[in-house]
A and B are shown apart, each in its own frame.
Chain A
């Protein structure tokens, strides 16, 4: 600091004026920028109001609906499965949900892992193969697991197995894309090392790429398992097994105490799974790499 206590005030003021002059550009109000910001904000809000109006929102509809929601919440309390049989049935359905999620995740990984090497440019330099596999992953990924569930129900019939296959297909696309990206960003030096010691392409992949890949893959699988538990919970709504089926039935038959019981079961399960998998992820990947 050039200004000390002893110096006269005017020096400080002149320094201020000097600073103001030198940084005038920073201090000038950015009219154009503000105009763009406020115009785009106005356009977005107008879009919101327009779409709400188009979709049939009205104050009466919201008011009436909220009143009914209030009634439903009141009916939900206290959560109560009513009979012991129901409780057993719900726990079985919950187990089914976890089974669907686990099998779906692992099955998708088993299919996606080998194919993702085809889609990685540093392993298979052929541009046509690369584009075709990437497009295939994107197309499969673009279709929601619920839609796949409907399709698989047409093929293998109603039941949890259709749910497993739906998760396998939709995650196959997503995991394939993620895995191939992970392969492409892998460090090339270990592969060069293996090759310089006389290893072939396969040895290069096995000892150069896969050790780098595995922690990433396992971490992503855990994330996918978590999200699949949530997806598997709704697959039952279209008839593909799991807790979604009793849940949607109870909602449709106005058994609100059972609905809230099932929702609480789901919440507890999901948070327990999240807890376990974040522990596992830490132990696999270790503390965050610097």
Chain B
């Protein structure tokens, strides 16, 4: 801008408007371009995934009929009218639901423990060597990228049918997911307590125990609880590949059209998941609250 003649207010305003207009037009062009790309991808993926809108429209009624079917007993009554008959297998189902929860618990515990042991090797502040950090990170990435159901499929071959492959699959997946999160938490801690302990002659283990751990523990527990919620959901379907839990019962019920059983088991799973979400949320809020008070 030249200092000799102060610009007219009107021209400044018009200049602003013009540049705003061109900015807006530029933004709109980008938006339209993005929409076109998304539309092309949508059509392309519809073609690859053999989407059949006509079949869907044809069968949309069938979907809602199915929802209706699973809410009816064999006698034709609505399930709510005869809860005793609806939940005829309650004892058996509760047992396998309990097994599912135990699988989620054991898998989360083992996975969290492994993640805890490994995460310090994957951080800049505590790693033993760059190469060790790189290898740990890649290993964790592998463990969380391969879906737990695939691990379960392989473990079922190795360990045989039953909950053992399920627990191990959950543990490995949890280790991968939590290891990365834990390492990020540890990298973001305040370095001063660690330096203090190092200055007082503390070993690496002492630095972790007294410098890092008090800062990260509540975060770790909070992440582990979140993971537990996720794991309850995935434990419920691990039975699809024979890895224990309620999934196998559900699979049989859906495949063989034991309609009212499907709704009963689904209801049990949904209620359990909701209760656990609610409970862990309560615990997490208390943990976070305690951290704030300290």
**Complex Cα–Cα for A52 and B171 (A):** 12
Contact A65 B48 (CB under 8 A): no
Q: CB-defined interface of A249-290 with B at 8 Å, one 1/0 digit per residue?
A: 001101000010001001100110000000000000000000
Q: Is B292 an interface residue (CB 8 A)?
A: no
Q: Is A224 an interface residue (CB 8 A)?
A: no
A residues near B269, Cβ cutoff 8 Å: 142-143
Min CB distance B148 to A, Å, is 9
Q: Is A20 an interface residue (CB 8 A)?
A: no
**Complex Cα–Cα for A60 and B17 (A):** 78
Contact A146 B237 (CB under 8 A): yes
Contact A142 B274 (CB under 8 A): yes
**Complex Cα–Cα for A241 and B26 (A):** 40
Contact A96 B49 (CB under 8 A): yes
Contact A65 B155 (CB under 8 A): yes
Contact B50 A159 (CB under 8 A): yes
Question: Given known contacts A98-B45, A142-B273, A241-B49, is B146 in contact with A267 (CB within 8 Å)?
Answer: yes
Contact A55 B167 (CB under 8 A): yes
A residues near B254, Cβ cutoff 8 Å: 147, 150-151, 154
Q: Is A16 an interface residue (CB 8 A)?
A: no
Contact B105 A51 (CB under 8 A): yes
A residues near B103, Cβ cutoff 8 Å: 51, 55
Q: Indicate which residue in B63, B159, B233 contacts A65 across the interface (CB closer than 8 Å).
A: B159
Contact A230 B49 (CB under 8 A): no
**Complex Cα–Cα for A142 and B50 (A):** 27
Question: Given known contacts A159-B50, A267-B145, is B158 in contact with A72 (CB within 8 Å)?
Answer: yes
Min CB distance A146 to B, Å, is 5
Please, which residue of chain B has its CB at the minimum distance from the CB of A101? Answer: B45
Contact B105 A142 (CB under 8 A): no
Q: Is B288 an interface residue (CB 8 A)?
A: no
B residues near A270, Cβ cutoff 8 Å: 145
**Chain B residues at the A interface, C-beta cutoff of 8 Å:** 38, 41-42, 44-52, 55-56, 59, 62-63, 66, 99, 102-103, 105-106, 109-110, 141-142, 145-147, 149-150, 153-155, 157-160, 162-164, 167, 233-234, 236-237, 240-241, 244, 250-251, 254-255, 257, 266, 269-270, 273-274
Given contacts A57-B167, A69-B154, A160-B48, 17 further A-B contacts (CB under 8 A): A44-B109, A52-B167, A54-B99, A55-B162, A56-B163, A65-B159, A69-B155, A72-B157, A103-B45, A143-B266, A146-B149, A146-B240, A150-B254, A155-B63, A233-B150, A248-B241, A251-B153
6 cross-chain pairs, A with B, having the tightest CB-CB distances, nearest first: A99-B45, A99-B48, A65-B159, A99-B49, A142-B270, A51-B102
16 pairs, CB–CB < 8 Å, chain A vs chain B: A52-B106, A55-B167, A62-B164, A65-B160, A66-B158, A69-B154, A99-B44, A99-B45, A103-B46, A146-B149, A150-B251, A151-B254, A165-B56, A237-B240, A237-B241, A248-B153
